[in-house]
Amino acid sequence: MENPTYQAIFERIQAGQFQAALNVLSEALVNSPGDPHLLYYAGLAHRRLNNYSEAAKYYRESIEIDPSNPSVHLGLGISYQLQGSYEKAIESLKAAINLDRNFPEAHNSLGFTYSNMGKYRQALECYECAAEAIMEIAFSRPAKDGQRYFPSEVTTDGKNVLMMTPEAFDRIETILKSNLMWAINRNNIGSCLAAMGEKPRAKEMFEESIRFIPEGVKYDAPSFGLKDLS
């Protein structure tokens, strides 16, 4: 991110200073009104300030200029979802997934939208897609180290297969614990299963979610889910 204006906006958003980010954006958009990145940041800042209609407006403007960024479609989908416009949310989230099949946040948000609509089976399918995407990302990192984590072994029929070492399992678990996304995914699956009356499986998911919450992160949803089961 070499553009100093982008950097200034991004730093404010990262720090949770959303109104300050919008102050910078207001001036930047006067000078560059058709910049899709600035429009995306404006949408993001407004969404974080709960200005969902305004956020959707900026996201749509960004998409009109450059429809190829899946993150903008995700932001628009979440904005619609938070307004209760679920059909529009589904359309936008599916557009994000079509642009990037390995986009766990989009799969997760689509699942959450279906769950809000009471369509738990569809929600579970989306959450499983999110889990596969998260796991694929987690696997890709140790896979770069080749033989250390995935040594090759010749089977009796002469074929080479990749094995996973115990060290690989530990490394993948560490990666999953470094990002809240896996804990959120497990919690969302647990919530769906609980709504469907499948309490034992829901309990397993809530417990796994708690186990994978990154150190120092406050995330109470799975604990509340477990409490509601009792």
| Inter-residue contact 9 to 20 (CB < 8 Å) | no
Residues 97-122: tens digit of each pLDDT: 999 999 999 999 999 999 999 999 99
| Lowest mean pLDDT segment, chosen from 138-142, 173-177, 184-188, 222-226 | 138-142
User: One fold for both 1-100 and 101-230?
Assistant: yes
Cα 104–Cα 110–Cα 116 angle in degrees, nearest 5: 135
Residues 25-66: tens digit of each pLDDT: 999 999 999 999 999 999 999 999 999 999 999 999 999 999
pLDDT of res. 179? 87
Q: Using the Cα atoms of residue 23, residue 26, residue 32 and residue 36 in order, give the sign of their dihedral.
A: positive
Write the burial class of residue 12 (CB in 10 Å: 0-12 exposed, 13-18 middle, 19+ buried).
Answer: buried
- Find all residues with CB under 8 Å of 65, minimum gap 6, and list them: 34, 36, 39
pTM score, whole prediction: 0.86
Looking at this protein, which amino acid is placed at residue 208?
E
Cα–Cα distance for residue pair 20/54, rounded to 1 Å: 16
| Res 163 pLDDT > 80 | no
In this predicted model, which residue has the larger pLDDT, 52 or 164?
52
* Domain coordinates in residue numbering, the chain: 1-100, 101-230
Pick the CATH number of 101-230 from 3.40.1160.10, 3.20.20.30, 1.25.40.10, 1.10.287.70: 1.25.40.10
pLDDT of res. 93? 98
| Residue whose token pair is 């996201």 | 59
| Residue whose token pair is 């958003």 | 13
Cα–Cα distance for residue pair 162/139, rounded to 1 Å: 13
pLDDT of res. 148? 46
The domain defined by 1-100 folds into: 1.25.40
Cα–Cα distance for residue pair 123/127, rounded to 1 Å: 6
Residues 1-10: tens digit of each pLDDT: 468 899 999 9
